[in-house]
Structures are given as C-alpha cells and as structure tokens.
C-alpha cells in the first residue's frame, strides 16, 4: 500500500482539474516506459540554479510537473491547524491581474491542470499541460505562487467549503477514527493535528495568517521538482527560472522535532450510532532512511498490503467473512513513521474482527513470514513497480517522492535489487520490530452492549 493516509487529505475541488473529458483521457494515457525512463532521468540545473529531476519524452505532446516545498501543515500555527490547507485551496483563486473567474477561464481554455495541496511535511503542487500551452501554464503557476490575491469573497467561499467538509467528518466513522488515531499516536506534536484543521480553528484563520505562511514556506532552498514530458532541457530551464526564480531564497521554518509514535498496546473507543463499526489500528513504524526499511516494506505487504493475497485479508474476509476489506500500510514522514490499518464490520462483529486482526499480528510477529510468502511478495513488488510508473504523471510523482525521501537519482534501477536482497531473517526481524508490541487501536461505532441488542422495532399506533 502507499502511504497516502497520513499525507494529504486536501479538499481538492473538481475545478482544479480543468481538462476536458477528451484531453483528460489523453493525459491519463500518456505513457512512459519506466525501464527506458530510468536510464534517461537527468539532474537538470537551470541557468538561475533551479534544480529538477527530468525525463524528456516526446511520445505524446504533454508535460507533467510535480513540485514541493518543505514544511507542509506541520508549519501551521499550533492553535490554528488548517492554514496550509486553506492556502492550497486558494492559490489558484486569482493572482496577478486575474480574478478567480478569469484565472479559471484561462485554465479551461488551454486545458491546463493546476492544483495545490498540503501534506504534513510538504506543500506541493501539480501542473499538467499540452506542450503548446507550456508558456501560459508555467506563467499561471508563477503568478499563483508569487502574487495570490486571497480576496475576501474567495476566502470565505473556500472557508465555507472546508467547514462543511469538517462538519461531515463529525459523523463519518472513518474520519473520526483517523483523527483519534493521530491524536493517540502523536499527542500534541504537529503530526497529531489535522491537516484540514478543525471546526474551531478554520473560522479563526485570517488572510494575514495565509500570507505569512506563503512568505515563510514557499522558498527556493527547499524546492524539489520533477518533470516528465515533451520539452527540451534548455527550454525547461528557462521555464523553471521564470516560474520559481523570483521566490525568496530561503524559507523560515519552525523546527519540528522527531517523534516516536505512542507505544502499544492502547485502545480507544469513539461512540457513534452507525450500523458499521470502523476499526483503525497501527503503531510505530520504520522511517524511510532506516537501513531495514525495505525488509519492513516487504513483510508489511505480506501481512496487510497485498490486497487479496494478504494474511489479514485471508483471515478476516475469506475465512471468517467479518469484513469486506482490510488493509495495513507503512507510512513514513520526515520526523516519524507508523504502520496503520483499517477495516469496517457489522457492529455486533467488531469484537471478533479485532480478535482476528490481533491474532494474525501476533502470529507474524512471533513466527515471521514463510519463504514462499517472502518470494511471492518480492515478485509482486518488483512487477508492480513498473505498472505504477506507466504514465508521465505517475513517473513525475514518483521522482518527486524519491527526492523527498532523499533517495539517489538512479533508485528506479536499484530498487528491484534492494527488494531481492531482503532475506527471510531480515523479514522476521522486521516483523518482530513492527508488531511485537501489539497495536494502537481506535474503534468507532456503537458501544459493545448496544451493538449486541437488536434494533428497536418501530412504534405502531393501536387501533
């Protein structure tokens, strides 16, 4: 599984994706051969010193760019979570001499796809366009980053959308479970705050807060860029200088301490009168820089990341029919790492479901995987990597992630060898490290005693 759960849950609006259906389809089908791309990844440095990882590919006349700045929502003021998220939702709401309506008309007319979002560690953006529209696309991005309007009407409209989403979350068991899990795991560390903010914090965020965030965070010294598409290096270098060259040289970031997730076992219950109980479970993970990361990644696939082939799926879904799906992922951030899983089940079967999960977690922690499971997991992970990089957009996203994870530029070529090098002993040690202490567990739903009772029959009038 990917580690998107703890990354961003931004309120991405449909109009961020300004492509027509036909053009959107062509973008989605814009393919790059990963085996060829690996050999063609260039470390480009623009005349002005802007660096990017770049794959030149003229298969189709499209360009995809992913970029990020360090900081993310962890740079929100302690009493105002949600600032970075609001900034991400508002940067394309008018800038320079264009109001919001005109800005989006320009995107629509040229089939330019532009979006921003905040994760816990980064503020990131995405830009996709037809090759012939690259000058206008990069200029609109430059304007968004350097002269956003934050007009009152736009701010209040977007704020109301965010608040509406937060209100919906108060009755959404999955949202409540994830929120409680992060609070349990990280306490008052910035990672324990919600990227989207809270119903108390979002109404208090001011335009000054957002402008301050932009000024402190969007700077060249933490900028990372990945570009894949039909553009030559010299032209791209000029576009990057035009787009990012006028940003501040250095960010002013608040230092964020490393944090270890809370030690298991711990359990929390959040009452909510819904038919389906949601269970979120996890614990301390393995950071991406840890030399044993790949062993943990492989063994995690065996336990809960392998879809229909995972142990948890077989035990919880196939053998017992307790839930429709169950998954478990490794998530890594700049200052911590966790593993986290999720499932949903009937209220009266929540106890049995949790028992089955805990039993399987204990078993793999005590015994580790089998050699057959290890071999099959390696085979899947090596093959799926190529499928995961089959479009220019996916490849750009991966290249940006590799930069954020401080991996070498030739990591795509090296990855399968690193997977192959994981031994059975490595996998067993990783399993014990990850799951030997048990689980942090959040259960959202009806109280156990209420779940055991049948639903009350509707009242009827006597004649």
Give residue for tokens 């490290």.
433
> What distance in Å separates the CA atoms of residue 320 and residue 316, rounded to the nearest whole number?
6
In sequence order, what are the residues at sequence separation of 6 or more whose Cβ sits closer than 8 angstroms to the Cβ of residue 23?
111, 130
> What distance in Å separates the CA atoms of residue 45 and residue 48, rounded to the nearest whole number?
8
Q: Residue 151 corresponds to which tokens in the numbers above?
A: 């007009």
In sequence order, what are the residues at sequence separation of 6 or more whose Cβ sits closer than 8 angstroms to the Cβ of residue 161?
11, 13, 89
> What distance in Å separates the CA atoms of residue 239 and residue 223, rounded to the nearest whole number?
15
Q: Domain 266-448 adopts which CATH fold?
A: Cytochrome Bc1 Complex; Chain A, domain 1 (3.30.830)
> What distance in Å separates the CA atoms of residue 189 and residue 333, rounded to the nearest whole number?
13
What residues form DSSP beta bridges with 125? 67, 116
Residue 22 burial (CB < 10 Å; 0-12/13-18/19+)? exposed
The listed CATH number (3.40.1110.10, 2.60.40.420, 3.40.50.970, 3.30.830.10) that belongs to domain 14-244: 3.30.830.10
For residue 9, give the 3-state DSSP assignment: coil
Q: With b meaning 16 or more CB within 10 Å and e meaning fewer, what string describes 419-441?
A: beebebebbbbbbbbbbeebbbb
List the chain pLDDT tens, one digit each, 463 residues: 333 333 333 222 222 323 222 333 333 334 555 445 554 899 999 999 999 999 999 999 999 999 999 999 999 998 899 999 999 999 999 999 999 999 999 999 999 999 999 999 999 999 999 999 999 999 999 999 999 999 999 999 999 999 999 999 999 999 999 999 999 999 999 999 999 999 999 999 999 999 999 999 999 999 999 999 999 999 999 999 999 999 999 999 999 999 999 999 999 999 999 999 999 999 999 999 999 999 999 999 999 987 778 999 999 998 898 888 999 999 999 999 999 999 999 999 999 999 999 999 999 999 999 999 999 999 999 988 877 888 899 999 999 999 999 999 999 999 999 999 999 999 999 999 999 999 999 999 998 655 444 443 333 333 3
Domain limits of the chain?
A: 14-244, 266-448
> What distance in Å separates the CA atoms of residue 73 and residue 119, rounded to the nearest whole number?
6
> What distance in Å separates the CA atoms of residue 452 and residue 340, rounded to the nearest whole number?
27
CA atoms within 13 A on the CB side of 423: 3
Which candidate, 362, 356, 345, places its Cα nearest to that of 283? Answer: 362
> What distance in Å separates the CA atoms of residue 85 and residue 443, rounded to the nearest whole number?
27
Which candidate, 34, 67, 212, 215, places its Cα nearest to that of 137? Answer: 67
Is-contact 84 213, C-beta < 8 A? yes
Is-contact 98 278, C-beta < 8 A? no
Whole-structure pTM over 0.75, yes or no? Answer: yes
Going by the DSSP 8-state scheme, the letter that residue 263 receives in this structure is P
Which candidate, 334, 337, 350, 419, places its Cα nearest to that of 381? Answer: 419
The answer to whether 14-244 and 266-448 have equal CATH topology is yes
């Amino acid at each position: 599984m990917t580690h998107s759960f703890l990354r961003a849950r931004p309120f991405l609006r449909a109009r961020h994706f300004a492509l027509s259906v036909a053009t959107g389809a062509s973008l989605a089908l814009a393919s790059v051969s990963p085996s060829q791309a690996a050999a063609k990844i260039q470390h480009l440095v623009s005349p002005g010193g802007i660096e990017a990882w770049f794959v030149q590919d003229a298969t189709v006349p499209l360009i995809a760019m992913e970029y990020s700045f360090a900081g993310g929502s962890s740079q929100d003021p302690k009493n105002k979570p949600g600032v970075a998220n609001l900034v991400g939702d508002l940067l394309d709401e008018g800038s320079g001499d264009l109001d919001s309506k005109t800005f989006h008309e320009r995107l629509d007319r040229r089939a330019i796809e532009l979006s921003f979002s905040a994760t816990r560690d980064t503020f990131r953006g995405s830009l996709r366009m037809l090759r012939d529209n690259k000058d206008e696309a990069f200029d609109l991005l430059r304007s968004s980053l350097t002269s956003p309007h934050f007009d009152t009407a736009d701010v209040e409209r977007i704020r109301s959308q965010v608040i509406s989403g937060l209100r919906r979350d108060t009755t959404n068991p999955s949202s409540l479970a994830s929120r409680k899990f992060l609070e349990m795991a990280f306490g008052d560390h910035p990672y324990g705050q919600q990227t989207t903010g809270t119903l108390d914090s979002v109404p208090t965020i001011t335009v000054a807060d957002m402008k301050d965030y932009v000024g402190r965070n969007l700077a060249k010294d933490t900028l990372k860029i990945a570009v894949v598409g039909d553009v030559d290096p010299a032209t791209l270098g000029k576009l990057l200088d035009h787009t990012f060259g006028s940003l501040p040289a250095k960010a002013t970031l608040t230092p964020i301490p490393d944090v270890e997730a809370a030690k298991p076992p711990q359990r929390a219950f959040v009452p909510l009168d819904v038919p389906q109980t949601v269970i979120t479970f996890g614990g301390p993970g393995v950071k991406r820089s840890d030399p044993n990361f790949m062993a943990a990644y492989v063994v995690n696939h065996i336990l809960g990341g392998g879809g229909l082939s995972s142990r948890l799926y077989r035990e919880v879904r196939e053998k017992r029919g307790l839930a429709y799906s169950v998954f478990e992922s490794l998530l890594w951030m700049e200052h911590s790492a966790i593993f986290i899983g999720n499932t949903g089940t009937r209220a009266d079967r929540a106890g049995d479901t949790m028992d089955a999960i805990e039993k399987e977690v204990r078993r793999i922690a005590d015994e580790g995987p089998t050699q057959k499971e290890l071999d099959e997991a390696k085979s899947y992970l090596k093959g799926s990597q190529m499928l995961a990089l089959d479009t220019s957009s996916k490849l750009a996203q991966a290249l940006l992630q590799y930069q954020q994870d401080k991996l070498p530029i030739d990591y795509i070529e090296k990855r399968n060898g690193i997977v192959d090098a994981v031994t059975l002993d490595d996998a067993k040690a990783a399993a014990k490290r990850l799951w030997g202490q048990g689980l942090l567990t959040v259960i959202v739903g009806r109280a156990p005693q209420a779940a055991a009772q049948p639903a009350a029959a509707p009242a009827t009038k006597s004649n």
